A and B are shown apart, each in its own frame.
Chain A
């Protein structure tokens, strides 16, 4: 079913010099760093809105995101122009055609993502004028922006992937780590984008949490893992995701900051960190083992197993969240119980939200488990998509 890296070994050896050039290309590193900068900027921006509130086009997180998009656009644009008009025959041979130009596929995806981000700016600005500042993550102009950001991150993954897939065995580990890092950035984007629905520990006792996570993560983790060369690709990606969130959380909390917009119901003194990352490493280990045991050619059965396995292992959050909302987690390490300046603090901080209740307003195990069953179905679909995507990525050579 899938063409493995080994199957294309003859072509691989023929283009080793060019491959080394690509894997060491400054463009790959520039795009990867930009990709990380975008997700760092996004987490910082959300923290800014929760802490300081005052919004301009020129806030530091915005500048970081825009700078990253500019670096990506220019470096990939240069790569395309250079490949088209001044590229070596090897470089041209390792490119794809696009409206008369030639360049690596990942560069094209990055350029598309940059254009998407640029388009979102006037759209978002008009949106603020028409409907007011949308102080939330999921809104139409923000989705345009997030898709653009994800495009850059996917492009970074594809550039790293090409390097990995064409790399000789001895340098595959380095290229694989670059690829896993790019994948982790995309997973972090996914986790951050759905923060309003499944980011806080208080969400973990409702079925929606499991449905949202089952929709977002299996496709990303399995897709990334199927094409990865590391021994534990999904696990590595999940650990890197958790690392990015944790480092951001630990750093942000160190910076003093106060709210600058009314009303201030919660006078914060330091930057509000993101909630503690999801324990994605646990389902990721399960998915890695599943991918090893079942291997390729049995993808439908694998997806059927992956859905319930992911949801089942994610249930660890049911108990983990009880710790996170307890007094034991209210410290710098776990960063718990830190809330927006504009929220009136109350008991809701230590309660579970959006519980699956029946008509009488009582928590209904039947509704919850029905929701979990739906989450399992979503997980299956997400896993199957991830396998298709991963199989294709496994074969990407340009």
Chain B
């Protein structure tokens, strides 16, 4: 029983330290050639593990849907044959397939749709990492315990029968000496088998400890706030020894930035920022801090490796609330921040006023948002005159949404394409078979800065931005939705309880 509790505790702890922070599933929306697709990859939680993939293809005329997991550094010869996704009964647009992820690595899942409009493929980034540990649930625990006891007693009885009767000619009854011998053998075998069981338990525990060591943890990092004549600055340093020893592929820019850093004041307090530090070297990043209220802030730093592997690094810092000096400007032109407390009444279906007087409405017909199902993150922005706002590209996207649970155990940085980082997907798309050297893909992405913005802006309903996502667990969440209108970034803050 204690063991079960311990495993549950470990499981919870593990979930908190997964990529994207507590939000391990991948939600993706894009185009497989001419076919709009929404792909959900349920993280297996262990590696090697089996993942459930669902693919929704809108528009009909689909003949066949397949999916293939591909590791970032295998060439065309390393790709296994595709698995066919089967139609889900009762939903003509939904397909489902199970895929094995055999290695801890950065994968792209190739989703191919064949239909009346031809064949189209899209690559969905997915990170196969071990993030959870299963508890041994009670029915299985009881069943295995009973089986173990029966087998143990059976083995001891067999040893007893072996010494008592098995060597006697048919029909002969065992004498007293043989019965005593049998009893001694049974006691001795029970001791030996008991030692074997203890040894097995020690082995199991060592496997568990070894597994825990291999579970995914983001790079260790620390944040330091320093005062300077130009206002307070934040120094973010990656401490991971393997990274510092060049054991990982280098970073690539995501939306043109090597790092997206979020400052989130805890206890649902007001004060939030989306910053883009500059790299001082491969380990240290620095940014000026805008005028935020004093308090304890959680820090989430999103980075993407050339392999397509995306990480959210964690740190924290205390801000003193120091005002910015005259003439202060942010480190990066795309930095944005918000000093506002969420109105608890403004959740799903609610509306908030933006800084320029526009109104942002969370359009949903759902009365409540359940965990693990599509959260329906669809937002419509209306200008003060009641017309749909003309949304501009904010770092190549129609919008950004940042989700955080009140205890900081869940964090996700979303885009209209879903949970995957844009740079991850591009790294797979631009990678050529000969790109085996470090830095090749990064150079391609930085040499073509329009690649990202060209890829992501698409025609849709005016003033509307959507984010495919599901809240992974229950709790109180805040959602910051960022759009760009008239050259200025506007941030709407929503708060909701997921039961």
Contact = CB atoms under 8 A, between A and B. Distances in A.
Nearest to B144: A123
Nearest to B133: A130
Interface in A82-123: 90, 93-94, 96-99, 105, 108-109, 112, 115-116, 118-119, 122-123
Interface residues of A, number: 54
A98 B102 contact: no
Contacts of A55: 100
Interface string B167-199: 111111000000000000000000000000000
Nearest to A131: B211
Nearest to B201: A140
Interface stretch (B29-37, B152-160, B271-279, B379-387): B152-160
Contact of B150 (A18, A115, A140): A115
B110 to A, nearest CB: 10
B339 interface: no
Contacts of A132: 46-49, 130, 211
B494 to A, nearest CB: 36
Interface in B192-217: 200, 203-204, 207-208, 211
Nearest to B130: A132
Contacts of B48: 132-133, 135
B169 A8 contact: yes
B46 to A, nearest CB: 4
Contacts of A397: 166-170
Contacts of A126: 134, 136, 140
A112 B154 contact: yes
B69 interface: yes
Contacts of B102: 53, 133, 135, 261-263, 342
A129 B103 CA distance: 15
Contacts of A96: 161, 164-166
B151 A108 contact: no
B161 A97 contact: yes
Interface in B60-76: 68-71, 74
Interface string A253-284: 00000111111110100000000000000000
Nearest to B132: A130
Interface string A1-33: 001000010011011001000000000000000
B458 to A, nearest CB: 30
B77 interface: yes
Contact of A392 (B50, B100, B144, B167): B167
A59 interface: no
A160 interface: no
Contact of B166 (A18, A128, A398): A398
A381 to B, nearest CB: 15
A132 B134 CA distance: 10
B170 A262 contact: no
B170 A93 contact: yes
Interface stretch (B15-23, B78-86, B361-369, B388-396): B78-86
Nearest to B169: A11
A112 B151 contact: yes
Contacts of A98: 157-158, 161
A137 to B, nearest CB: 14
B148 interface: yes
A18 to B, nearest CB: 7
Interface in A291-348: 342
B143 interface: yes
A11 B47 contact: no
B143 A122 contact: yes
Given A122-B144, A398-B165, A265 B78 contact: yes
Given A112-B158, A259-B80, A130 B134 contact: yes
Closest A-B pairs by Cβ, 6 of them: A11-B169, A93-B171, A94-B170, A132-B46, A395-B167, A133-B48
Given A122-B144, A131-B46, 19 more contacts: A11-B171, A14-B171, A96-B165, A98-B157, A105-B166, A115-B151, A130-B211, A132-B130, A133-B49, A140-B203, A260-B80, A262-B71, A262-B78, A263-B105, A264-B74, A264-B78, A264-B80, A265-B78, A397-B169
17 contacts: A12-B169, A15-B169, A98-B157, A105-B165, A116-B151, A126-B136, A130-B133, A130-B136, A260-B81, A262-B69, A262-B70, A264-B74, A396-B167, A397-B166, A397-B169, A398-B167, A398-B170
